[in-house]
Amino acid sequence: MMPNGASRLPPVSPRWSVVLWGAAYLAIAGLLQVNARVPWDADTSYHVAVARLLRAHGILHAFPWTPFSWLSDHYADKELLFHLVMAPFAGLDWTACAHVAGTLVGAATLFCSYLVLRSERVPGAGVWALLPLCASLVYAFRFTLVRPHVVSVALALVVLWAAARRAYAVLAVASALYPWAYVGWYLAIVLGVVAESARLAARKRPIWRTLAVVLVSLALGIALHPNGLDLFRLAWLVNVKLLIGTAWAGTPGLELGEEFRHFTLYEWWRYLGAAALATGVSLAVSWRRRATDSVGLAFALGALAFGLLTLFTARFAEYFVPFAILSLALASRHVRWRPFTAAVTAGFLLYQGGPLVGLLRGLREREELIPDDVAAYLQARIPAGSQVFSCGWLLTGTMMLALPERKFIVALDPTLFFFKDPALYRLWFSIPRQPPPDLDEVIRKAFGARYVMCLRERRFEEFFERLESGPGVQTVLSSRFWKVYELPGRE
């Protein structure tokens, strides 16, 4: 079903072009992955570790490897689809597994963008699908990370298009997959509302069947998920109590990822300025054409919503940029100037070309934090089943890969420890920063840990010195990146 005036639009591209663009996106995503010899983001190692656990133990219903986390006995794999993609390759070296998974999900996101634009007969759809990577350094960086948010972006694009086009079969499948793919599955509801808002702005009657399809499909996806009930609880914890109640509220004692902080005004304009300009142009064009092109308006409104969210947290930049650029692509159908696509591409490259080259170079500089020989040495010194005390949470996945079947303090965001036992969380947080006199005894008694493994950071120097001066404490490893200790006594 095409918009009014479709006869003036170019014919849809031949089917063979779909195959060619699919192959091109695989190649581009693959090159971006192998450019980073070691995956940049520490979360990637966690996802590979979970994929290996899934391969070894089947579907997980508990997570005893982080006993102090809420997940230990309320486990919900909020990225099960992503881990299932990884599982067949989990037997490879972890970097190879990450590169393959990153290539597949990255290419899928580009391909979904292309299919949306192709279905709307956007001239140069294949090029427009690539332009978000050229428009924002932040988006390009987030795109290269092997993490489930890339899958969520693809699903979000499909959900909004399907809701705006009333393609209910596509909408149902995409919505049902969302709870299996990402903890932010509620976005499907928001995007359904955006699509109906665009229809209302076009002075058309909203079709409540759209939201009904989204809600029923989400409910079905949750019901079919092996951790369905806990998945629903986890979504509440992460999206409400974590994002709003702790991250945006600035709760002290909770060190969260960089994506939770907000951009400065300079950063916002420097990295998201092109997306903001694209949103403004597409809003102006689509509003004038709203009576005949509610799809274009829906994408422009979606870009506006995500853009406003980036003023509070950087976490939504990966949605804002592709929605903004795709909304501009949809608006380009109403621009008669033939070189428009080429001019936009050139403008984006002038705006972000230099930083993007620097990003590609920087991604190659990541080093392996625990090489194979160091991992083998630590496995020989720290028995399987041991509880390991760590100073932070970001590198839990790295430690899980190096020391499989050992137990660590917490994985994913630390709030899942905080929600389970706030008092014990505060003790864990304070120990490396304000070490008590009887340090080794406190760690053994409170956490049942005989081993301590921490990234070598200057802010923890007093903690390391006090441990090393403790009676009977042995230094297992003191390297450029790590400090590892064995405490006296039993766990």
What is the DSSP secondary structure assignment for residue 10, as one 8-state letter? Answer: P
Other beta carbons within 10 Å of 224: 11
Q: Are residues 253 and 106 in the same domain?
A: yes
Determine the Cα–Cα distance for residues 153 and 150; give it in Å rounded to an integer. 5
Torsion of CA 339, 345, 348, 350, to 10 degrees: -80
pLDDT at 7: 40
Determine contact, residues 234/183, Cβ cutoff 8 Å: yes
Backbone φ, ψ for residue 36 (5° rounding):
-90, 100
Residues 312 and 389 placed together within one structural domain of the fold: no
Q: Is 428 a domain residue?
A: yes
Specify if 3 maps to a domain.
no
Distance between alpha carbon 64 and the CA centroid of its chain, in Å? 24
| 166 and 103 belong to one structural domain | yes
Residue 230 near residue 76 (C-beta atoms within 8 A): yes
Domain assignment present for residue 6? The answer is: no
Is residue 395 located within the same domain as residue 344? no
> Based on the domain organization, do 412 and 342 belong to the same domain?
no
Q: Is 387 helix (H, G, I), strand (E, B) or coil?
A: strand
Q: Are 351 and 274 spatial neighbours (Cβ–Cβ below 8 Å)?
A: yes
Q: Residue 476 domain-assigned?
A: yes
Q: Which residues of the chain have pLDDT under 50?
A: 1-7, 249, 491
Question: How many domains is the chain partitioned into structurally?
Answer: 2
Strand 451-455 relative to strand 388-389, pairing: parallel
Do 225 and 277 touch, CB atoms closer than 8 A?
no
Q: Are residues 310 and 258 in the same domain?
A: yes
Distance of CA 14 to the CA centre of its chain: 33
**Statement to judge: residues 335 and 463 lie in one domain:** no
- pLDDT of res. 311: 87
How would you classify the pairing of strands 451-455 and 474-478?
unpaired
Regarding whether 325 and 181 lie in a shared domain, the answer is: yes
Quick one: how far is CA 170 from the chain centroid? Answer: 23
How many angstroms separate the CA atoms of 90 and 82, rounded?
12
Residues 6 or more apart whose CB falls under 8 angstroms from that of 244 comprise none
Domain final residue, candidates 334, 363, 392: 363
For 78, counting Cβ atoms within 10 Å of its Cβ (0-12 exposed, 13-18 middle, 19+ buried), the class is buried
Q: What is the pLDDT of residue 203?
A: 80
Indicate if 220 and 239 belong to the same structural domain: yes
Of 333, 363, 393, the residue that ends a domain is 363
What amino acid is encoded at 460 in this protein? F
491 falls within a domain? no
**Could you tell me the strand order of the sheet in which 388-389 lies?**
388-389, 451-455, 482-486, 474-478
Closest listed residue to residue 43, CA positions, set 393, 358, 415: 393
318 located within any domain: yes
Distance of CA 381 to the CA centre of its chain: 34
- Angle, helices 317-331/94-119, rounded to nearest 10 degrees: 30
Closest CA to 161 of 190, 130, 119: 119
pLDDT value at residue 92 = 94
- On whether both 260 and 378 belong to a single domain, the answer is no
Is residue 312 located within the same domain as residue 386? no
Q: Is residue 169 part of a domain?
A: yes
Give the Cβ contact number of residue 63 at 10 Å.
21
362-378 per-position pLDDT tens digit: 988 888 999 999 999 99
Q: Which helix (H) or strand (E) holds 455?
A: strand 451-455
- Which among 363, 391, 407 is the end of a domain? 363
Helix (H) or strand (E) holding 454: strand 451-455
**Nearest 5°: phi and psi at 96?**
-65, -40
- Domain range enclosing 67: 12-363
224 and 301 in a single domain? The answer is yes
Place of tokens 């140069």: 124
